[in-house]
C-alpha cells in the first residue's frame, strides 16, 4: 500500500486508544509468573515489556509463584514495576516436589540416559518438578482461585508490538479457552511414551474426546510428517506439535474441569514427568487438542513475542507500524514460516475449520 504520513502518524483514534485507561472494562484475570528469586532482572525486563505493550492501560494484577519464599528485593522491585496489584505465593511441597511413588533407581537411570543423549534439561531434577507443576498444579494454587483467566509470563521474554486488544476480553467474547502465539515440534526423546498414556486416556474416557470437533488432526500424523518436517521422526501417532507454553492465555475452568483432571491423573500415574521429561507444553497442547473444540482455541496472530531462541512477528506491514513493532518478520524473529513451526499445520487442521472438513 502507498504510505501516507497522515494515516500512520496522526491517527488520533489510535493515539487515544494507546493512552486510554480501560480499568472499568477489565476481565477477571491475572498475569502469572512462576519464577526464581535470582531471575529478578529477567522478570523485571518481561514485566516492563508487557506493561508497556499492554498492561499499563488495564492494570491487571500480577501473581508470582515460587517453590521457595520470594525475598524482599524481589517483592519490592516487581511491585514497583507492576501497574496493577501484586501477589506472591509459595507453592506447597506436595505440588512441587517429586512424589514418593517415583522409583528412585528408575528415576536416576532415566536422568543419566538423557544426560548422555544430550537432551535439553535431560539431567535436571528441578526442571521436571517445574514441568509437572505447570501441567497439573498451577491452576490449583490458592492465589488463582479468584480468577477465570491467566496469562503466563516468563522472565526474559519480549513483546514486540503494542497489543491491539485486550486478549482476555477476546477470550471471553469469542468463547475461547486457550490462546497461543507459537506452535512447534517437541524433542521426541522427552516424550517417548506420552502418547501411549494419551491413548489409554482416550480408551478409558471416549466420551470426553470428540474427534469431530476437536483438533486431533493437528497433533497426529499418518506418516506424512516427513513431508512437513524432514528432521523430525516420531515413533507414535503424535506428531510432536505443541503450543509453546511460555506464552499462553487460558481459561482456568478448562484446567479445573473433570476431563483435564482425569487426563492429568492418568499421566501422573505413569510417572513420565520424572522417568522421561514430559514438558508442560506437549501435556497442555494434547489436552487442548483433544478436549476442546477447535473454535475454543485461538492463535493470537497480531501479537509479537520472543522467548529464546524463537519469536513471532506480525507479517502485515501496516499492522507493524500501527502497533509500533520492533521486529522483522523476515529475519530469525519469526518462526512461523520455518519448517520447525507447526503453524501451517494449525491453519490446515485446526483454527475452527472442522465444519468444512467434516461437512
> Of these, 29, 34, 40, 289, which contacts ligand GDP (CB under 6 A)?
34
CA 183/CA 277 separation, integer angstroms: 19
Catalytic residue among 27, 39, 248, 296: 248
Taking CA atoms, 156 is separated from 5, 16, 90, 347, in Å, by 34, 29, 22, 29
Q: Residue 290 corresponds to which cell in the numbers above?
A: 483433544
Binding letters toward ligand GDP, positions 237-266, x by CB under 6 A: ---------x--------------------
314 binds, among ligand GDP, Mn ion, none (CB under 5 to 8 A by kind): none
> Between residue 233 and residue 262, which ones bind Mn ion under the rule CB under 5 A?
246
Site for ligand GDP contains 130 (CB under 6 A): yes
34 binds, among ligand GDP, Mn ion, none (CB under 5 to 8 A by kind): ligand GDP
Is 132 exposed, middle or buried, given 0-12, 13-18 or 19+ CB atoms closer than 10 A? Answer: buried
Site for ligand GDP contains 155 (CB under 6 A): yes
For ligand GDP, the closer of residues 110 and 155 by Cβ is: 155
CA 93/CA 90 separation, integer angstroms: 9
How many chain residues are in contact with Mn ion, going by CB under 5 A? 2
> Of these, 27, 51, 61, 154, which contacts Mn ion (CB under 5 A)?
154
Q: Residue 113 corresponds to which cell in the numbers above?
A: 540416559
Kind plus residue range of the DSSP H or E element containing 306: strand 305-307
Quote the least distance from Cβ 127 to ligand GDP, whole Å. Answer: 6
154 is known as an active-site residue: no
Angle formed at CA 245 by CA 125 and CA 262, multiple of 5 degrees: 75
Quote the least distance from Cβ 154 to ligand GDP, whole Å. Answer: 4
Q: Residue 303 corresponds to which cell in the numbers above?
A: 501479537
Candidates 29-37, 143-151, 258-266, 334-342 — which segment interacts with ligand GDP by CB under 6 A? Answer: 29-37
CA 113/CA 91 separation, integer angstroms: 29
Binding letters toward ligand GDP, positions 156-195, x by CB under 6 A: ----------------------------------------
89 SS3 class: strand
189 binds, among Mn ion, ligand GDP, none (CB under 5 to 8 A by kind): none
Q: Residue 252 corresponds to which cell in the numbers above?
A: 482456568
C-alpha count within 13 angstroms, C-beta hemisphere, residue 44: 13
145 SS3 class: coil
Quote the least distance from Cβ 336 to ligand GDP, whole Å. Answer: 19
Quote the least distance from Cβ 47 to ligand GDP, whole Å. Answer: 12
> Between residue 69 and residue 128, which ones bind ligand GDP under the rule CB under 6 A?
126
Site for Mn ion contains 39 (CB under 5 A): no
Q: Is the peptide bond before 190 cis (omega within 30 degrees of 0)?
A: no
Kind plus residue range of the DSSP H or E element containing 171: helix 167-173
Quote the least distance from Cβ 156 to Mn ion, whole Å. Answer: 7
Residues marked active site are found at 248
Q: Which residues bind ligand GDP (CB under 6 A)?
A: 34-36, 39, 66-67, 126, 130, 154-155, 246
Amino acid at each position: 500500500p502507498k504510505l501516507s504520513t497522515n494515516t500512520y502518524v496522526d491517527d488520533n483514534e489510535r493515539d487515544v486508544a494507546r493512552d486510554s485507561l480501560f480499568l472499568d472494562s477489565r476481565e477477571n484475570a491475572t498475569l502469572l509468573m512462576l519464577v526464581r528469586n535470582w531471575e529478578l532482572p529477567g522478570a523485571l525486563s518481561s514485566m516492563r515489556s508487557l506493561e508497556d505493550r499492554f498492561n499499563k492501560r488495564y492494570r491487571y494484577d500480577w501473581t508470582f509463584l515460587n517453590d521457595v519464599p520470594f525475598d524482599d528485593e524481589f517483592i519490592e522491585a516487581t511491585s514497583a514495576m507492576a501497574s496493577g496489584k501484586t501477589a506472591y505465593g509459595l507453592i506447597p511441597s506436595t505440588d512441587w516436589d517429586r512424589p514418593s511413588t517415583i522409583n528412585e533407581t528408575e528415576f536416576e537411570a532415566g536422568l543419566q540416559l538423557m544426560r548422555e543423549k544430550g537432551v535439553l534439561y535431560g539431567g535436571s531434577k528441578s526442571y521436571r518438578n517445574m514441568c509437572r507443576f505447570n501441567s497439573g498444579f498451577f491452576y490449583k494454587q490458592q492465589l488463582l482461585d479468584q480468577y477465570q483467566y491467566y496469562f503466563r509470563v516468563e522472565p526474559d521474554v519480549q513483546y514486540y508490538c503494542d497489543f491491539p486488544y485486550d486478549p482476555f476480553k477476546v477470550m471471553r467474547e469469542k468463547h475461547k479457552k486457550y490462546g497461543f502465539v507459537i506452535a512447534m515440534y517437541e524433542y521426541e526423546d522427552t516424550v517417548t511414551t506420552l502418547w501411549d498414556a494419551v491413548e489409554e486416556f482416550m480408551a478409558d474416557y471416549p466420551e470426553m474426546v470428540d474427534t469431530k470437533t476437536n483438533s486431533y488432526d493437528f497433533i497426529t500424523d499418518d506418516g506424512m510428517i516427513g513431508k512437513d518436517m524432514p528432521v523430525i521422526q516420531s515413533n507414535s501417532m503424535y506428531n510432536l506439535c505443541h503450543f509453546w507454553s511460555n506464552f499462553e492465555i487460558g481459561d482456568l475452568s478448562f484446567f479445573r474441569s473433570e476431563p483435564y483432571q482425569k487426563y492429568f491423573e492418568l499421566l501422573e500415574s505413569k510417572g513420565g514427568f520424572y522417568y522421561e521429561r514430559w514438558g508442560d507444553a506437549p501435556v497442555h497442547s494434547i489436552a487442548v487438542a483433544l478436549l476442546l473444540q477447535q473454535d475454543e482455541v485461538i492463535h493470537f496472530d497480531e501479537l509479537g513475542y520472543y522467548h529464546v531462541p524463537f519469536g513471532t512477528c506480525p507479517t502485515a506491514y501496516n499492522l507493524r507500524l500501527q502497533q509500533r513493532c520492533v521486529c522483522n518478520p523476515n529475519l530469525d524473529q519469526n518462526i512461523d514460516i520455518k519448517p520447525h513451526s507447526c503453524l501451517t499445520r494449525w491453519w490446515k487442521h485446526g483454527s475452527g475449520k472442522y465444519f468444512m472438513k467434516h461437512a
